[in-house]
Structure 1
């Protein structure tokens, strides 16, 4: 037990040190000139070779060739290396969970017996900017992530939002409402996916005042009615986790009937409705590694999902299944796999930058390299979609982030050699 506690204490010290590094960096200058980079803007300008990016006050002021550095502004010589916007870490729980198997450290879902449908539940209130997962993701080029409410006691899970991984305590941009449909949520809807639409219709009726608030059959609290009413009025996007084509078809019909803005997460069979999704302007966040059916909702899964959707005009982003919070860095691998199966490289980069920023309503600040945008930038050793390359330096708001994390601190601690040839951690 003592050995376990000692190891836990070592992990905590290393993690807190790495997490605190971002706060220490907050005092650093927010002005710099990055010179002679291959600038992948992820915007209308496309890729600019031999270009410069001027940052002042944490904001991009100019992008072009031959820019002059104002007096006192440090210059970074990129030597032609790729420069991209800071990447999207997927739909995750970074800062909402520390140890997935330890329930007190996980704050992504709510499960209440009385009135379990609580759209007013907002996971961003539990966000911990000092989480050890923040620097782990950040040093891999991840600058922002979408915190998701996970289905706990109801298929309408609650709200989440975008956070920047710069140590800021508060989310940026509007909230999103998270809903799960299909077989994965049938246990939360009377063992039937058909009941999900019945319950959604009732929720809509309640939010629009068609069901008395004191009805014994009401599913929503007054606060829940007010929150859902905002989304029904178009003030925010609803992110729906759904895979089966038949369910996506019903979702599109429901969204059109109720005039709500939606996005899809997962969408293993979304390619079968690509043209309909394009017409409805619904972005889809896919997992390109979903190539074989993991369940009966994914019979039509294919590695070409992203390419087929893009070819039809759908905006494609990326997210991953499994432990997305601890493995946010793998989102680059997902994009690279999509490229290997037909998605254009530029579209894959957009799926890691511009597309998620637009879907979350933060594209006025994040997702592209352009004057007026927040200077969240990454300089890479090579092609960022090839996992052989790494982030050489990350800037968030123009501040150079420490390229260290709990993992690198522990690596260095146990690799250093001391007396007797043992690392210092083993010497009493």
Structure 2
């Protein structure tokens, strides 16, 4: 079955917008056409172009509404820090040791966390769920959809390795009277882990075909081989400028792909970050100065970094900011200097590029996955609401839906 939305303001985030416009996609998962819709006043009128699909076709009146790609939260903890279960559902940090790169966030996620339904209410269809920042290396991120059959939600497991510098590891392990107690120890532990993993990989390669000589399998160092091979990025938690610069030194020393997370003082060193060519996922900006390293927090950071040439996405860091308010975070960035379309891309196409998914999601273009959201107003207007959501071409949210998350694919508006 194909779905055609007619007469809406279609914001593709691919360079062309259409008002009135139409968007066509199939429940097989792909967008098949997008463009202007001069005959939208009569929904029974002939479509503006022939569609490469068979009947039936469902036509939706989008007059007075906006069509946007599903938003992407590039850094959150949905499902792994569960709503309403502060102890039982907290699987964010394994604080028994500071180096746990072999842990997988997916193994800690509860797909029935109500925050997944909240995500749809905010137009968020894709999330990158990371372990927390208590450890120097906390584990592996997972990218997943926010609705659909549970077995089909995972887009990419082991999508990145989470690391952290700054106050969090110092505080957690300082209280246990073991390293890292200082920033020097944090950096040294990160370097040590990368060096040991590199040596482990070298020895494994040298003894290939000779099992008796091969080093004993160590899941920690196995988990870092894709990172050292530049197949996945290091997602580095750092707020303060000094921690960001330390992180850049280590990234360059080991030749890693990387993404800077939070980047609270990034605006103070925007030139250095731009020169390094490392993307940044900025936020959460709608919080107070909860820690010393956040005293320079401002919603202007993302716009300043973008202006300097840094590829920027925005985050909620859910549950720090509830995930449904990702558009609000982008709206605040606009209020503090970022251009409106750039802010939309910071929660869609730019986030997709940082996650390596821009060939599939992040904009409304033929051939891309049909993650589509219908709004009754602009998402930066706090009065606006999501009216329908499709993921991979299948409707997963609308006010008329009747199924609950445990029964199928569709969420009811609460």
TM-score by length of 1: 0.79
Trace 1:5-16 onto structure 2 (pairs within 5 A). Answer: none
Q: Which residue of 1 aligns with 2:358?
A: 363
> Is residue 2:191 matched to residue 1:195?
no
Match of 1:224 among 220, 223, 231: 220
Cα offset for 1:81?
A: 2.1
Aligned 8 A contact 2:8 2:67 in 1: yes
Partners of 2:82 and 2:346 in 1: CA distance: 26
Asked whether 1:146 is paired with 2:136, we answer: no
* CA offset digits 1:26-51 (Å, max 9, x no partner): xxx5x2111222222122x2423222
1:146-173 superposed Cα distances (whole Å, 9 cap, x missing partner): 1111145x32110112110122434213
- 1:305 and 2:301 are equivalent in the alignment: yes
**The structure with more helix, counted as a fraction of residues:** 1
Q: 1:139: how far off?
A: 2.7
Alignment correspondent of 2:247: 251
Give 1:397's aligned residue.
392
TM-score with structure 2 setting the length: 0.82
- Alignment-derived partner of residue 281 in structure 1: 277
**Is the CA contact (8 Å cut-off) linking 1:288 and 1:304 kept in structure 2?**
no
CA distance in 1, matches of 2:357, 2:146: 14
Q: 1:235 offset after TM fit, Å?
A: 0.9
Distance in 1 separating the partners of 2:49 and 2:384? 28
Deviation at 1:52, TM superposition (A): 1.5
How far has the Cα of 1:129 moved from its partner? 2.9
Contact 2:397 2:413 (8 Å CA) reproduced: no
Q: Which structure 1 segments of 5+ residues have no match?
A: 1-28, 214-219, 413-428
Task: Give the conservation status (yes or no) of the 8 Å contact 1:274–1:309.
Answer: yes
Shift, 1:127, TM fit: 2.9
User: Structure 2 residue aligned with 1:136, among 112, 118, 124?
Assistant: 118
* Residue equivalent to 1:81: 65
CA distance change for structure 1 residues 100 and 93 in 2, over 3 Å: closer, same or farther? farther
Q: Does the CA-based 8 Å contact 1:288-1:305 persist in structure 2?
A: no
Q: Aligned-pair distance for 1:137?
A: 1.8
1:329 is paired with a residue whose SS is helix
Residue number in structure 2 paired with 1:118: 100
Moved more, 179-188 or 254-263: 179-188
CA distance in 1, matches of 2:347, 2:201: 42
CA contact (8 A) 1:107 1:126 kept: yes
How many Å separate the matches in 1 of 2:32 and 2:340? 27
Count of residues in correspondence between the two structures? 371
Identify the range of structure 1 (203-212 vs 59-68) with the bigger mean alpha-carbon deviation.
203-212
Given the alignment, which residue of 177, 182, 196 partners 2:166?
A: 182
For residues 114-168 of structure 1, the C-alpha deviation after alignment (integer angstroms, 9 at most, x for no partner) is xx5121100113333333322222133111111111145x321101121101224
Alpha-carbon distance in 2 for matches of 1:321, 1:93: 6
Shift of 1:279: 2.7
Cα distance in 2 for residues equivalent to 1:253 and 1:163: 31
CA distance in structure 1 between the partners assigned to 2:287 and 2:298 by the alignment: 4
CA drift at 1:68: 4.2
Partner of 1:209: 199
Post-superposition offset of 1:377 = 0.5
* Residues 332-391 of structure 1, C-alpha deviations (whole Å, 9 max, x = no match): 111101100110001100111112211112222221111111100011111111121111
CA drift at 1:223: 1.4
Instruction: Decide whether aligned partners of structure 1 residues 160 and 90 sit closer, same or farther in structure 2, where only a CA change above 3 A counts.
Output: same
**Counterpart of 2:339?**
344
Q: Structure 1: how far apart are the matches of 2:19 and 2:82?
A: 40
Aligned mate of 2:235, from 227, 236, 239: 239
Contact 1:109 1:157 in 2 (8 A): yes
1:172 aligns with 2:155: yes
Preserved CA contact (<8 Å) 2:398 2:412: no
The residue matched to 1:365 in structure 2 has which SS? Answer: coil
Name the counterpart of 2:21: 51
Root-mean-square deviation over aligned CA pairs: 2.7
Say whether the 8 Å CA contact 2:281–2:312 is kept in structure 1.
yes
Q: What is the distance in 1 between the residues matched to 2:7 and 2:373?
A: 14
SS of corresponding position for 2:199 = coil
Q: 1:156 maps to what in 2?
A: 137
| CA deviation profile, 1:40-68 (whole Å, cap 9, x unmatched) | 2122x242322221112220012223234
Paired with 1:150 and 1:369, the residues of 2 have a C-alpha distance of 32
What does the per-residue CA deviation read over 1:91-119, in whole Å, with 9 as the maximum and x for residues that have no partner?
22222243454422232232335xx5121
